[in-house]
Amino acid sequence: MRDLLGIVLAGGAGERLKPLTTMRAKPAVPFGGKYRIIDFVLNNFINSGIQNVKILVQTLSQPLINHVSTLWPSAPVYNFFVQCIPAQKRLGEEWYKSTADAVHQNLNVFIDNPLYRRAAIFSGDHICKIDVSQMDEYHKGTGSEFTISSMIVRSEDAYRFGILEVDAQNRIIGFEEKPQQPKELPGKPGYCLTSMGNYLADISLLMKILQEDAINEGSSHDFGKDVIPLMLKKGVRMFAYDFSGNRVPGEDNVYWRDVGTIRSYWEANMDLVSIEPELNLYNERWPIKTSPDFAPPAKCVFRQSMVDNTILSGGCIVTQAEISNSVLSQRVCVQKKATIDESVIFSGVTIGEGAKIRKSIIDKNVKVPPFAQIGFSTEQDELRGFKVIDGITVVSKGYIFTP
């Protein structure tokens, strides 16, 4: 793995996640009580043995940069680097045009690190566990020049992804970006093979292709829309890596979610709170590390408190309240007779006495007044200015309730 360079695409504006992304980039959105979304790809890289990681940042990047610099300080003496790299030049009204342009603007990273032969290019806004070394072995074993991590999805969900067509050896022979009528898998009607947006590429090939795409004025400079079709046209050896066969140490199942919408983000948090969660945060053989918060332990006071299938982060104080199927971030205060159900509460939130919260996401530093109700009436929630999507109410960061 010493000749494998990690590249994280972390510039997404996250329009579909607003208002959670109004003040932060999508990879910097809090998740699971104490993490940020980007923690998962970074831990996957580090746990897989990749010691040089470049994070390509763009929109509202300062919270992300602050988090990464606290979590993974580079140590040149050990040849260990985790570095955030901003866009190098402005192109019209934008900085990076798209995913391929983000990498192309930073080709100097490859030039300045000539010992690296391959690059793992992963999205910074997915919740996933993957041992990249297994994908790298597959890449080398097939003689692939560009490998795409793939998984099977239902046909009705295919419009959200790039859809692959492969031969009997899993070599990619066709690709469509977000098709309305996707090609289904032979012998498996109702299912398609999707690109997960995570790639492993030979650097020499990648540099040539990106330079060719960069001078094409008709290109949107996106891996899915432009670069992958260009490689198909040129006969590049591309293979699909079956993510379902990947196993991180200590686990028997795989997990991946694109948390690009409020619904998918809420569902991924709910995946954490069951008795046997789909996403295991407690596997010491594949740790998910994050920035230290130095918060005191969580505590529940008075015997009437009832907490069921819930994550309580450091510094939380629960007083005679009922909480179920929820995720509470650091330093959340829940006062007596309040109830919280199927909700995600960000750090620094206070839930007032007798307040009722249901199927909601409350961003940082909100003080919910006593006896307020959130998530019970779409009309009332929208009148307050909350965003309601798929039955999930989202309260913006720092929202101030008026009498």
Q: Which CATH superfamily is domain 299-395 in?
A: Hexapeptide repeat proteins (2.160.10.10)
Q: Report CA-CA distances (Å) from 135 to 44, 100, 132, 248.
A: 12, 21, 5, 12
Where do the structural domains in the chain lie, given as residue ranges? 4-270, 299-395
CA distance 357 to 24: 24
Q: Of 83-92, 95-104, 154-163, 200-209, where does mean pLDDT reach its minimum?
A: 83-92
pLDDT tens digits, residue range 237-246? 999 999 999 9
Among 147, 113, 145, 114, residue whose Cα is nearest residue 132: 147
Total-model pTM: 0.93
pLDDT tens digits, residue range 176-213? 988 888 888 888 899 999 999 999 999 999 999 999 99
The per-residue pLDDT for 11 is 78
CA distance 183 to 189: 9
pLDDT tens digits, residue range 73-82? 888 888 889 9
- CATH architecture, range 4-270: Alpha-Beta Complex (3.90)
